[in-house]
Structure 1
Amino acid sequence: MIPDLSHDRIDRLRDAFQAAGYDADGVVELLGPEAHAALGRGEPVPALRATTDAGALGTLVRLFLLGQAESQTAVEAALAPLPLTEAKAAGLLVDDGDRLRAGLDVRPHGVDDESWWVVSDLDSDLRGGRPVEADHVLGVGHASLSLVRAASRRPVDSVLDLGTGCGVQALHASTHAQRITATDVSKRALALAEATFRLNRVDVELAEGEWFDPVRGRKFDQVVCNPPFVVGPPRTDFTYRDSGLAGDDASALVVRQLPGFLAEGGTGQLLASWVHRDGEDWQDRVSRWLPPGAGVDAWFVQRDVADPALYVGTWLRDAGYDLRSPQGLQKAAEWLDWFEANDVIGIGFGFVTLRRTDARGEVVCEDLRHAFDDPLGPESDQWLRRVDWLRAHDSAEALLTARLVTADSTVLEAVSEPGDEGWQPLVHRLHRTDGPGWQHEIDELGVRLLAGCRGALPLYELLELLAMGYGEDSEDLTRAAIPMARELVRHGMLLPAEWAGGDQ
């Protein structure tokens, strides 16, 4: 059933939230840092204690964030000017004896100086542990937040949020885009997303349909997509995660079709999953997804690889299944049987950045499974900028005549081992201290070369001086240095001298 979230009801709900101070800052201030952190860990008792005698704001926190049943009197006061009859008709509240519970998840979502409200369905925990419904609409979860951090925030005219769900990607797009279009195959998702946008006074064009069908013939400056990327049998138990396509075909479909909806120079970011099979390189697999003959720069970043048993258990628990129940046992067995029949030994997960270009496309697939704190969105912008610079310096001559600077964020780590004559050098490793924290092992001559990259001399002169000082053959040293320099530029550890002192 589609909730009747009319504009009038949403406008009154907004008034109630504003009057109570039910926003990101208000909730944090009420709970305090310790109770807020505990709530993030799934520990509600400190938050329950903090909301005692906290008036309308306390009622709203207990109702929508903690899943508590509240008295009709308290809820009526907290939601005024929205009458209880209207709130129940909208699906925002449900009866629980003589008390009331939340029927939908409506919670503040804040990033930097922005504070929004997001409308979604209650997760399994707030449904008393019962599995979610087939048309369940996810709220702001780990996957959606990871895409938020991985998406570019450069100012653009138009953004397409493909498969918007509750609308969180479109909300973030509103900070840098003039026009936003959001699509979904689910009528329920579109209804909740519309409520989210109305609640936040964000203007978004909504369209219903599968994949890119609602926007055929249109171009966008940016496309963001958190698709139903779960890998497994071709089924649709839950629309938020299951595409009805087998294996990793959903991710492949988006990667293949997305560039056709980008304006020249436009970019796309999506979450994706891919299967790992014995004897098949995952990098070859995902590279084949790109449309043949199209000018596309593509950066595939693998953040994790899960074994099939862990993968199945995680997603079944996510949907609220008891893994020991007959239904849970059956679902797990069917899923693992499919993996075994299709020779799947692991499931990769990560981010994909695509850009439409009229030049020969650059395709790079990289493992990035170590921990890092910085968001990947700014790095994707800079990665594309560095790709442009490398493309313009494609020939050996162009690269060798460039002046390069070792980035301030690049540090050198020296690892030594004890020996008969004291510590003996074992390995030198470059480490980038910002962004994704790239690391590269480097030899002694490479260390000396980077020490000289201060922008004063072109690369070929530095190599000639290095060859002369260490008695090396200049041509051999140059041949070895060129691919190393390109890789370090690609990872932001060496930068063009003209970029020094500003952004990459």
Structure 2
Amino acid sequence: MPDLTNDRLDRLREAFLRIGYGTDGVVDLLGAQAHAALSRGEPEPALRATEGGGPLGTAIRMFLLGEAEQAGDVEQALHPLPLSEAIAGGLLAAEGDRVRAALDIRPHSAGEDSWWVVSDLDADTRPDGWATSADHVLGVGQASLSLVRATSRRQVGSVLDLGTGCGVQALHASTHAQRVTATDVSQRALALAAATFRLNRIDVELATGEWFEPVRGQRFDQVVCNPPFVVGPARTDYVYRDSGLAGDDASALMVRQLPSFLNEGGTGQLLASWLHRKGEDWQDRVAGWLPPGGVDAWFVQRDVADPALYVGTWLRDAGFDPRSALGRRKAAEWLDWFAANDVEGVGFGFVTLRRAGSERGEVVCEDLRQAFDDPLGPESDAWLRRVDWLREHGSAEGLLSARLMTASSTVLEEFASRGDEGWERFLHRLHRTDGPGWQHEIDELGVRLLAGCHGAMPLRDLVELLAIGSGEDPEQLAEAAVPMFRELVRHGMVIPAEWADDE
């Protein structure tokens, strides 16, 4: 276990500030091309850019590129932290007259905020022969970054980061919460998270224990969690990914228990995985995890992997060659479990939960497989706002009485295929050009109805005008319009007229 005392971390922070080892400093020294190559896992351009780069170059080569550097150069880079102290604390490891990083410490930024994150070395920077331990602590990976982007940043009083790992979710929570609590079952994770918080001068309350046990009896305004969501047999090879629970029971546990730890109106956001089993709808499966009572829930499925791809991906993640004897044995055990449990695929995505005041919550499960650029966090806030509006106005009478308008980010796309008599079979599709880029196909009458949505008159009046112009029955048009507009409001493609100033 590293011995990263406050004194050692304070001196390390002073050294980093002195040499400019931060996100801006790294980019400036590497240059745009080498930095982009490093992000792709191609270190050679960065190695060349840091030659003769002084103390900052030494720090980059050690912590970002996994190079062993001359002891004298490292001494200069880490001053005023003595080299002997850095080695004694488990920050560095000596190799003859050279020194290499024993921990990963890398800059991480978001907007105007910039931090250092302490974690274990990943496969790219770990020397040959350094195995991944069972209590390995991941750094800032793609999963944690995706949760960062999917998390609401509204100002709150308290945030719980459950299963904090290296502490990256808590770092981001510190930008919008008055109080942050971080828990983990792993003592090593808590030690590295504590180092992360000390380096960045951020006050976070730390607690040890499984799942919600460390905060039993407490409630928070927001809970964020990147749990060990890998599904398969009930085992724990690596604490960061394996829960010890079979199948998707870890995700089910989180969804079931999280709402009871929220204040009224509080939200929870987490990554989760779920099984796609033969003869079972995944939406029914995840909705069945919810506790009884008023909980609004939004399950967003971002991907579905077939069992073979899923197993191969996670074997490689742990450093196993799927072609080796050990890799094949582990793959066989995993695939046998999937086959015995009728698993056809594994879904992955985001879950937003809110403790609502109503007796019955709104539960929506939907696919969001397309690529999009905007972060999902603001969309989750907007989704909950739209849920509130639909709870009050979502009945047939409420929608037909509402004055609605097409959102400025909604565009109409039209497609046609060439037939015997020219272009025909038009397809009309609404496309939201911001957020998650929702799309809805609508018919010709729907297009004409939306054309009148300027917020000037109730939807009922627009339906009646369309009925007169098209010769359709107004009651049948209204019956078809209500569910369509309910979905368009839910996805932010049509908004209440009173929200126009918010656009």
Q: TM-score, normalised by structure 1?
A: 0.98
Go from structure 1 to structure 2 and tell me whether the alpha carbon gap of 1:323 and 1:96 turns closer, same or farther (over 3 Å shift): farther
Contact 2:66–2:127, Cα closer than 8 Å, also in 1: no
Q: Distance in 2 between matches of 1:101 and 1:331?
A: 32
Percent identity reads 76
Partner of 1:199: 199
Q: Distance in 1 between matches of 2:402 and 2:167?
A: 45
Partner of 2:482: 482
Partner of 1:15: 14
Tell me the amino acid that sits aligned with residue 115 of structure 2: W
1:296 equivalent to 2:291? Answer: no
Q: Distance in 2 between matches of 1:300 and 1:459?
A: 29
Go from structure 1 to structure 2 and tell me whether the alpha carbon gap of 1:131 and 1:426 turns closer, same or farther (over 3 Å shift): farther
The CA deviation at 1:96 is: 1.7
Q: Distance in 2 between matches of 1:59 and 1:256?
A: 48
Tell me the amino acid that sits aligned with residue 462 of structure 1: L
Moved over 4 A (4+): none
1:103 equivalent to 2:102? Answer: yes
Contact 1:60–1:78, Cα closer than 8 Å, also in 2: yes
Q: Distance in 1 between matches of 2:143 and 2:124?
A: 18
Partner of 1:44: 43
Matches within 5 A, 1:375-414: 375-414=375-414
The CA deviation at 1:113 is: 1.1
The CA deviation at 1:358 is: 1.5
Q: Distance in 2 between matches of 1:469 and 1:131?
A: 73
* Deviates most, 410-419 or 187-196: 410-419
Partner of 2:328: 329
Partner of 2:286: 286
Matches within 5 A, 1:454-465: 454-465=454-465
Contact 1:106–1:120, Cα closer than 8 Å, also in 2: yes
1:251 equivalent to 2:255? Answer: no
Q: Distance in 2 between matches of 1:316 and 1:328?
A: 7
- CA displacement 1:271-311 (0-9 Å, x = unmatched): 0000001100000000000012x210000000000011111
Q: Distance in 2 between matches of 1:417 and 1:374?
A: 32
Partner of 2:317: 318
SS in 2 for 1:385: helix
SS in 1 for 2:447: helix
Across the aligned residues of Structure 1 and Structure 2, the Cα RMSD in angstroms comes to: 0.9
Q: Distance in 2 between matches of 1:84 and 1:384?
A: 52
Contact 1:248–1:273, Cα closer than 8 Å, also in 2: yes
Q: TM-score, normalised by structure 2?
A: 0.98
* Deviates most, 307-316 or 204-213: 307-316
Go from structure 1 to structure 2 and tell me whether the alpha carbon gap of 1:204 and 1:189 turns closer, same or farther (over 3 Å shift): same
Tell me the amino acid that sits aligned with residue 388 of structure 1: D
Matches within 5 A, 1:121-140: 121-128=120-127, 131-140=131-140
Q: Distance in 2 between matches of 1:414 and 1:501?
A: 29
Contact 1:160–1:181, Cα closer than 8 Å, also in 2: yes
Tell me the amino acid that sits aligned with residue 281 of structure 1: D
- CA displacement 1:112-153 (0-9 Å, x = unmatched): 111100000001222235541100000000000000000000
The CA deviation at 1:320 is: 1.3
SS in 2 for 1:58: helix
Matches within 5 A, 1:352-363: 352-359=351-358, 360-363=360-363
Q: Distance in 2 between matches of 1:126 and 1:337?
A: 34
Matches within 5 A, 1:31-180: 31-128=30-127, 131-180=131-180
Q: Distance in 1 between matches of 2:179 and 2:413?
A: 47
- CA displacement 1:311-334 (0-9 Å, x = unmatched): 111111111112222222221111
Q: Distance in 2 between matches of 1:496 and 1:346?
A: 39
SS in 2 for 1:300: strand
- CA displacement 1:21-52 (0-9 Å, x = unmatched): 00011001110110000001111110011111
Contact 2:68–2:98, Cα closer than 8 Å, also in 1: yes
- CA displacement 1:67-98 (0-9 Å, x = unmatched): 00000000000000001111011111001222
Q: Distance in 2 between matches of 1:175 and 1:482?
A: 40
Contact 1:109–1:116, Cα closer than 8 Å, also in 2: yes
Tell me the amino acid that sits aligned with residue 164 of structure 2: T
1:183 equivalent to 2:183? Answer: yes
Contact 2:394–2:486, Cα closer than 8 Å, also in 1: no
Tell me the amino acid that sits aligned with residue 472 of structure 1: E
Contact 1:161–1:224, Cα closer than 8 Å, also in 2: yes
The CA deviation at 1:340 is: 1.1
The CA deviation at 1:63 is: 0.3
The CA deviation at 1:371 is: 0.8
Contact 1:164–1:193, Cα closer than 8 Å, also in 2: yes
Tell me the amino acid that sits aligned with residue 471 of structure 2: G
Partner of 1:26: 25
SS in 1 for 2:353: strand
SS in 2 for 1:364: strand
Contact 1:131–1:321, Cα closer than 8 Å, also in 2: no
The CA deviation at 1:167 is: 0.1
Q: Distance in 2 between matches of 1:501 and 1:449?
A: 23
Tell me the amino acid that sits aligned with residue 285 of structure 1: R
Tell me the amino acid that sits aligned with residue 113 of structure 1: E
Q: Distance in 1 between matches of 2:337 and 2:319?
A: 21
Q: Distance in 2 between matches of 1:270 and 1:418?
A: 46
- CA displacement 1:194-248 (0-9 Å, x = unmatched): 0000000011000000000000111100000000000011001000000000000
Q: Distance in 1 between matches of 2:335 and 2:72?
A: 50
Q: Distance in 2 between matches of 1:96 and 1:316?
A: 30
Structure 2: state its 5+ residue gaps.
none
SS in 1 for 2:125: helix
Q: Distance in 2 between matches of 1:125 and 1:435?
A: 33
* Deviates most, 223-232 or 129-138: 129-138
Tell me the amino acid that sits aligned with residue 423 of structure 2: W
* Deviates most, 280-289 or 494-503: 494-503
Q: Distance in 2 between matches of 1:397 and 1:41?
A: 54
- CA displacement 1:170-202 (0-9 Å, x = unmatched): 000011000000000000000000000000001
Q: Distance in 1 between matches of 2:151 and 2:173?
A: 9
Tell me the amino acid that sits aligned with residue 474 of structure 1: P
Matches within 5 A, 1:363-378: 363-378=363-378
Contact 1:414–1:425, Cα closer than 8 Å, also in 2: no
The CA deviation at 1:356 is: 0.3
Q: Distance in 2 between matches of 1:188 and 1:174?
A: 22
The CA deviation at 1:426 is: 2.2
Q: Distance in 1 between matches of 2:241 and 2:456?
A: 53
Pairs aligned (count): 501
